[in-house]
Chains A and B, each alone.
Chain A
């Protein structure tokens, strides 16, 4: 089956710094990847759709300049949280559409804590 690797699994950073999160599709090429954010005891909220070779599509209310997405290859998408603040602390998850059977594979998530 499809395998998606997400790194790091957790990160602590100081307020004002930037953090990069990677999402890799290990065994198939993905022209599209999705980034979600999940606050404690809440659901997954789609932040943006990452498109290989073109600009990401952001959901309404998501700051494009704060959450930079780069999909530079068919197996890698990165989410950079710029000038992080404590309110950016959350759980970030990537998702990749599967080939063959319609569905999605999720990364293991990244817990970001901004202090």
Chain B
């Protein structure tokens, strides 16, 4: 079964600085998708960034970028110029188009932004 591991339960960063959240996963599939979701105190799940495994180029969305290392099964999220509004729980997630297409989540990392 596919598993997703986030080894950092909590992280903190100074406002305007850069922080990297780690994620590793385990799968025997070659084609899959990886996601980072943000869950603020409202608990609404918000998509931050998505990566298709067949694409070698790392995904980027404004201040958010990933370092996707397929061979190492690593998928880290870098947040540049951190803002107070970035404070939230961040979940790494995995899915594949095969079968039920269900989304498997990591344990989450709570990110605190220090002003």
Contact = CB atoms under 8 A, between A and B. Distances in A.
Interface of A: 32, 34, 38, 42-46, 49, 57, 91, 93, 95, 97, 101-104, 106, 108-109
Contact of A46 (B42, B45, B97, B104): B104
Nearest to B97: A102
Contacts of A45: 105
Interface of B: 33, 35, 42-45, 47, 50, 52, 91, 95, 97, 100-108
Interface of A is mostly: strand
A106 B91 contact: no
A45 B102 CA distance: 11
A91 B45 CA distance: 12
A103 B50 contact: yes
Given A42-B108, A103-B33, A106-B45, 14 more contacts: A42-B107, A44-B91, A44-B105, A45-B105, A46-B102, A93-B45, A95-B45, A97-B101, A102-B33, A102-B52, A102-B95, A103-B50, A108-B42, A109-B43
Contacts of B47: 103-104
A43 B105 contact: yes
Contact of B102 (A43, A49, A103, A106): A49
